[in-house]
Structure 1
């Protein structure tokens, strides 16, 4: 009798949200697994993996298995020709050197779905696939710090955003991958299925809490503190200690017993930016965190992060993040938290 009731329930309930997953060649397992498991737990009252309140498919241009970056393969469920209607198309990226292996039909499918108003979600380097389809021009996208130089070189019309767990812009949602995919999935599920059902999977996934987009575990440029070049590593530590009082490159080099030329050269090699550019970006990212996590005024934050005045700070902040500090704070604090 229970099996019959389950079958009837599956047939009678119209899902609150429908997802299609597209796996690029050499896709990464973790963001796919985290995202789809959050969806799976929200889809059923019990842990029985029934597609009741959520629906999902795995699509591709053909039915050949798709090999992940770790060697595991997944067979698509449907081709694009047999696809249904979806609220979100989730593109799971992976190794960038496999980007050229994505079939042309995939880009055409993404373009058609975006034109129809279907929201696109890029996990890991799925943002690269969306950008290659020409759909991220002029839009912001959450990019892992490791991949930012490549993304900027390949897609100069797009706006890469580091150190945010996910970004939404113009019907396209992106996240840098890893466990951030769980947070993005939960954010979508809360919006479409309600908070209780959207949060349901966190306990089963042994996740402590749902993180908002601006909550990042690692410090900005922490990777440079572990890059293997002592000049860069020590310079980053000094920069972090002197966010309020930035100094000249000449003085920074002297503190390290280096020349300006040597310091610039190693920073361009490891950070793809000059010391002053890194220092300014570090201060801007710290300022962004303070906008979201303190009640200090924009003017106070500007001075506390080493900018001469609020106008100077606002100009650089808008250049870096696409919004003024005031707009950035107002729009994000207006959302339920």
Structure 2
């Protein structure tokens, strides 16, 4: 690896390295974890001395297995740590099951000591379950947002790539850990070192906490039509109380017939069908991510009748809501969805 040009231009804030404690929950996501720890390693390389150290921790103190089956040897169990340590909880699939009482008790204890605590990917669920995100802004992977919103109403959930609210940090998963750690490195040691780390990672676009995690609607649907995007945005914002096609058309200044033609032309389905698919997708998320009753899931997705909900769900997914939940295993909750 070539020597970075700014290696001699470090602006360190002190001689004592900052230590990170990575808490690896069972079935944590490797990508989110590796995207957090590698920038720390590269920051040390760029600076030519240790700016950061880290330990791997977990409930059993021996090893942790990530969602792809790889196993990591742990340095420690859930022991007392120094007040200056930064705790990053790495979550993945089945995070509700992995968020055990010992984990919650340890997080609450360390929070009382004033530690900075973050949640990587679905690790935000563990922080919220411990009550550490009450009244704070936070984020979680977009696929887990529906269930999170239902369970933690006191958390100000955003769609940002990452969020820093006081001494609480959360990321949306995937490569968003890189953006958070680069932000920390820049704050600790200056933007030159952070930018050099990004270059070594071949990371050409550093995102901020103002960037959202999902692609824009035109990019997602593969169509750049402002009124179509506006209508879909309204649909996504009004799932519990669906708007009629007439209301949607009126708000974008067109007739219902024009709206129908617009959806047929670009999405090969009617506005009503597209809206129904959005609602059923949210319903599936809630069934697989929460322990909400099927009736409450139906109401949350704009279905006044459970029987109508079941009929629509069967037609779209070829199974009933009750069987859908049953096939996902015995542990309902946020963690049942696959996280990146």
| TM-score of the pair, normalised by structure 2 | 0.64
Q: Report the counterpart of residue 31 of structure 1 in structure 2.
A: 32
Please point out which of 197, 200, 212 is paired with 1:201: 197
Counterpart position of 2:245:
249
Q: List per-residue Cα deviations over 1:173-198 (Å, max 9, x = no partner).
A: 11101111101000011111222223
Aligned to 2:152: 155
| Structure 1 pair 225–112 and aligned structure 2 pair: CA distance change class (3 A) | same
Which deviations, in whole Å up to 9, do the C-alpha atoms of 1:231-268 show, x marking residues without a partner?
A: xxx9x985316699999632546433788876654332
Q: Structure 2 CA distance, aligned partners of 1:223 and 1:153? A: 28
What SS does structure 2 have at the residue aligned with 1:122? strand
- What CA deviation, in whole Å up to 9, does each residue of 1:247-304 have, x standing for no partner? 96325464337888766543321356879xxxxxxxxxxxxxxxxxxxxxxxxxxxxx
User: Counterparts of 1:206-285 in structure 2 under 5 Å?
Assistant: 206-216=202-212, 218-221=214-217, 225=221, 238-240=227-229, 249-250=245-246, 252=249, 254=257, 255-256=259-260, 265-271=276-282
- Structure 1 counterpart SS, 2:96: helix
Q: CA separation of 1:16/1:259 partners in 2, compared to 1, >3 Å: closer, same or farther? A: same
Secondary structure of 1:81's counterpart equals coil
How far does residue 55 in structure 1 lie from its aligned partner after superposition? Answer: 1.6
Does the 8 Å CA contact 1:15/1:55 hold for their aligned counterparts? no
| 1:1-337 correspondence runs (5 A) | 14-45=15-46, 52-81=50-79, 83-95=81-93, 97-162=94-159, 164-216=160-212, 218-221=214-217, 225=221, 238-240=227-229, 249-250=245-246, 252=249, 254=257, 255-256=259-260, 265-271=276-282
Q: How far 1:158 moved relative to its partner?
A: 1.5
CA distance in 2 between partners of 1:260 and 1:81 (Å):
55
Which structure would you say has the larger RCO, counting Cα contacts within 8 Å and 6 or more residues apart? Answer: 2
- Deviation per residue, 1:1-24 (Å, 9 max, x gap): xxxxxxxxxxxx833422110011
Count of residues in correspondence between the two structures: 251
Contact 2:46 2:197 in 1 (8 A): no
Would you say the 8 A contact 2:83–2:114 is kept in 1?
no
Structure 2, unpaired ranges of 5+: 1-13, 236-242, 250-255, 262-268, 284-299, 303-340
Is the Cα contact below 8 Å between 2:62 and 2:75 reproduced in 1? no
Give the distance between the partners of 2:36 and 2:126, measured in 1 at CA.
18
Give the match's secondary structure for 1:43. helix
What do you get for the CA RMSD once the two structures are aligned? 3.5
- Could you tell me whether the CA contact under 8 Å between 1:17 and 1:193 is conserved in 2? no
Following the alignment from structure 1 to structure 2, what is the Cα–Cα distance between the partners of residues 76 and 244?
A: 44
Q: Which residue of 2 aligns with 1:312?
A: none
1:117, distance to aligned residue in structure 2 (A): 1.7
Contact map agreement 1:44 1:53 (CA 8 A) in 2: no
Alignment check: 8 A CA contact 1:264 1:274 kept: no
C-alpha distance 161-45 of structure 1, shift in aligned 2 (>3 A): closer
